[in-house]
Amino acid sequence: MEFTAGMVAQLLKGTVEGDPEVKLNTIAKIEEGHIGALSFLANPKYEQFIYTTGSSAVLVRNDFKPAGKVPATLIRVEDPYQSIAVLLAMYEQAKPRKRGIHPSAVIEESATIGKDVYIGPFVYVGENVKVGDMCSIYPHVYLGDGASLGNNSVLYSGVKVYSQCIIGEDCIIHSGTVIGADGFGFAPSSDNNYMKIPQIGNVIIEDNVEIGANACIDRSTMGSTVIKRGVKLDNLVQVAHNAVIGENTVIAAQSGIAGSSKVGKNCMLGGQVGVVGHIALADGTKVGAQAGVSNNVKKPGVTLLGMPAIESKKFLKSYAVFGHLPDIDKKVDKLVKELEALKNK
């Protein structure tokens, strides 16, 4: 497909600076641009490339002021990163979608399958499963008895959805993810063994959720583990039994949310963050990478760093002192020796 810079600007409610008739037929990184490509500049670290890029047009902020001559046509928008996301989404939607049910798929008679679905090779759909309209279920997916998949949702190859788990509409779950495995519940016994506590609940994933590859969302002991509307979970994220992840929260790779913890809405957790069990994080909480949250966060919008996690300003002040500890240790040791000498006199 081919568009002009003017057409792209009109679509994104932006303005053109340069040739509005320049032809665009692909999207490329600004440092790898070529004729016919549209790039974007959202991070100032990449500004150097706008003066040498081979792209025909570049999306920039409305207030961008170039420090030199720019060879490409500029399309000024409010937010280049969001604008490129809109264009990529349109490109993705324009790609042809697979349809039909492969003959090797096993679908139990009591299952309900919606209209215009794709069910790939070696998929298993259990008893009383409900699959909505326009769903795409790729090879080797397992849908356990009583599970439900909402309209227009996608399960990539190897996803396992255990029995009675509910997935909403417009969800995307990537390869290898397991929804509804048993929560980690064991009771110590008198003979130093551990007795398994049956996990009889389920997982509820609301609409417009995306979960990366090889993530694990455990079923609850009782009730439900809940992933609320708009949540985005990265690869290798672990959400334990009875946890609740609030609306539009994003959690980066290798993070773990322990059992019965509640993460508020619009929170952001960096990579390898750990949240202990039975605590709550207020709405808008931000947690830096590798931090460990061990207490309730009651104030909305707080940024936490470190292990144990504390407010970012306190952490940065403490870390500044930490860097001087060797010198402080020498000074303290010297003072102790001087005091001992004074005592001996």
Backbone angles phi, psi at 325, to 5 degrees: -60, -40
- In this structure, whether the domain defined by 100-310 belongs to CATH 3.40.50.300 is answered with no
Helix (H) or strand (E) holding 23: strand 23-24
* Preceding omega of 66 cis (within 30 degrees of 0): no
Half-sphere exposure of 205 (CA within 13 A, CB side): 34
pLDDT of 318 reads: 80
pLDDT of 105 reads: 98
Look at residue 247 and give its three-state secondary structure: coil
In tens digits, what is the pLDDT along the chain, a chain of 345 residues? 789 999 999 999 999 999 999 999 999 999 999 999 999 999 999 999 999 999 999 999 999 999 999 999 999 999 999 999 999 888 888 888 899 999 999 999 999 999 999 999 999 999 999 999 999 999 999 999 999 999 999 999 999 999 999 999 999 999 999 999 999 999 998 888 999 999 999 999 999 999 999 999 999 999 999 999 999 999 999 999 999 999 999 999 999 999 999 999 999 999 999 999 999 999 999 999 999 999 999 999 999 999 888 888 888 888 778 788 888 888 888 898 888 888 887
Q: Which of 34, 102, 140, 241 is catalytic?
A: 241
Q: Report in angstroms the alpha-carbon separations of 152 from 28, 116, 208, 246, 281.
A: 28, 10, 10, 22, 31
Domain spanning 3-94, CATH class: alpha beta
Which DSSP string do the residues of 174-200 spell out, in sequence order?
-TT-EEEEPP--EEE-TTS-EEE----
Dist. CA 87–CA 93, nearest whole Å:
10
Q: Please name which of 83, 78, 79 lies closest in space to residue 38, comparing C-alpha atoms.
A: 83
**In the chain, domain spans:** 3-94, 100-310, 311-345
Contacts for 147 with CB less than 8 Å, ≥ 6 apart: 126, 129, 130, 161, 162, 163, 164, 165, 166, 167, 180
Catalytic residue status for 174:
no
Strand 310-311, strand 3-4: pairing:
unpaired
pLDDT of 131 reads: 98
- Residues 147, 117, 151: CA angle, nearest 5 degrees: 55
pLDDT of 215 reads: 98
